[in-house]
Amino acid sequence: MGTYGITPSTVIKIILNETVHIFNVGDVPEKTIVIDVRLPRIVLAGLVGGALSVSGVALQGIFRNPLVDPFILGISAGAAFGCALTIGFLGVIPVQVMAFLFAVLAVVIACFVAMTQGEMSRLSLILSGVIVSAFFTAMVSIVKFLVDPHKLQSIVYWLMGSFSLSDWKAVKTAMFGVAFGVLPIFFMRWRLNVMSMGEEEAKALGVNIKIERLLFIGFSTFAVAIATSLCGIIGWVGLMVPHLVRMLTGPDHRTLVPLSFSAGAAFMIAADTLSRTLTSFDIPVGIITAITGAPFFMYLMKRGGREAWGR
């Protein structure tokens, strides 16, 4: 789907021509649109949506809090500052690199601040994430105040989140993030069931809660940081999708993790399709997810999160 009309049969022929060489469609404009414009955007949206959803599942499991999302530890604020710094003053450095580095730095600082309390508990980590987010948000405001209006427009657009600059290079980078961020969570997903029972129960079953928590935070941070550096800040996905899947299938992470990846990919592709087809111009997909996420968050607040958490 898109502003340039292409029939489904033509799309199938083009894809089959590129993969198994069944049809010879020739060098037509539709081929470039499907293979080089729309297909990488769809694949990237699916990978990013899946990564955000799985990260949300993992963090909700280790924090035992259904209202935790992947950006709770300051990932989005750190990535936003890296983006703003690059666009405003460091044009020679790619935005993706600085966004990723500052997203990881924000989580490292949050963990360090939490450890200063003696023990890195769930509450201290969440509070540290709030502190780090507030700090980096203030730094972004300073950069936005100092840059010229043209650069400010680029910063604001990136902060809204968009897949408009998708290409196969970005897809490869996203696959790297999924391989080293999401796959370890998938293979360790059964341990989330133990950790979600509580710290005392997990210790009684032989789980090193500190090491396990750091591992899941590290893998989640890596996946979210890669995704955020490629497409900007897209909120609510890691909060909404795990809840919807949990309400349908239950709280068992052995099924919750893979189903959340699939549902997150489908949700993100649907949201991006709406963002580029509702109007003649490309609406940032972060706006679409925020419009759907705000009412959903109010719904969760009304229910207290208990039913969706399986309690």
pLDDT one-digit tens code per residue, 282-298? 889 999 998 888 787 77
Supply 225's token pair. Answer: 């940081």
* Distance between CA atoms of residues 291 and 311, nearest Å: 28
Instruction: Determine the 3-state secondary structure of 171 from DSSP.
Output: helix
The Cβ-side half-sphere exposure at 23, using a 13 Å CA radius, reads 14
Handedness of CA 47, 10, 14, 231 (dihedral sign): negative
pLDDT one-digit tens code per residue, 246-256? 888 988 999 99
pLDDT one-digit tens code per residue, 115-146? 887 666 777 888 898 999 999 999 999 999 99
Long-range Cβ pairs for the range 108-116 (8 Å, 24+) = 109/74, 110/73, 110/74, 111/73, 111/214, 111/217
| Domain spans of the chain, in order of start | 8-303
Homologous superfamily of 8-303: ABC transporter involved in vitamin B12 uptake, BtuC (1.10.3470.10)
Confidence band (pLDDT; 50, 70, 90) for 28?
confident
Mean pLDDT for the stretch of residues 89-113: 87
What is the structure's pLDDT at 54?
Answer: 96
Q: Which helix (H) or strand (E) holds 224?
A: helix 209-231
pTM: 0.88
Contact 287, 275 (CB under 8 A): yes
Instruction: Determine the 3-state secondary structure of 44 from DSSP.
Output: helix
Backbone angles phi, psi at 93, to 5 degrees: -95, 135
**Which residue type occupies 156?**
V
